Structure 1
Amino acid sequence: MPKLKTSKSISKRFYVTSSGRLIRYCASRSHLLQKKTSKRKQKLRKKLCVNSNDLSNFMHKLPYLY
């Protein structure tokens, strides 16, 4: 059976915690920051867990992560 390919763009943006959850950063933090309030930008700094409904898509793209 051939090796499975890892999606390199996804592997750079997501990582796994010790408990097995996927962590991601919030979007909309790279540009157009002048019109966003400071409170909104503070919330965008935090990391979030990937929703359990989306995990099957990530398992397919990151076969050797788990």
Structure 2
Amino acid sequence: MPGMGGLGLMRHLAESDTRIPVIIVTAHGDDDMRQRTLQVGAIAFLEKPVRGPALLEAIRSAIGAA
């Protein structure tokens, strides 16, 4: 995402009190990023290549949280 990463987006949404379910999908993740992203409200943190069942589970969680 030009200009802002997933963690930056999550922080921006939290600061603006925007409550929408977010699934982070990245090719450059690590455990620290996963924890920080989930702490600020992401529904799921998936690393590419994403497996179908993991994506489906994340989408179901996001729909349930909406």
Q: TM-score, normalised by structure 1?
A: 0.30
Q: Which structure exhibits the higher relative contact order, with contacts defined as CA atoms closer than 8 Å and separated by 6 or more residues?
A: 1
**More helix per residue:** 2
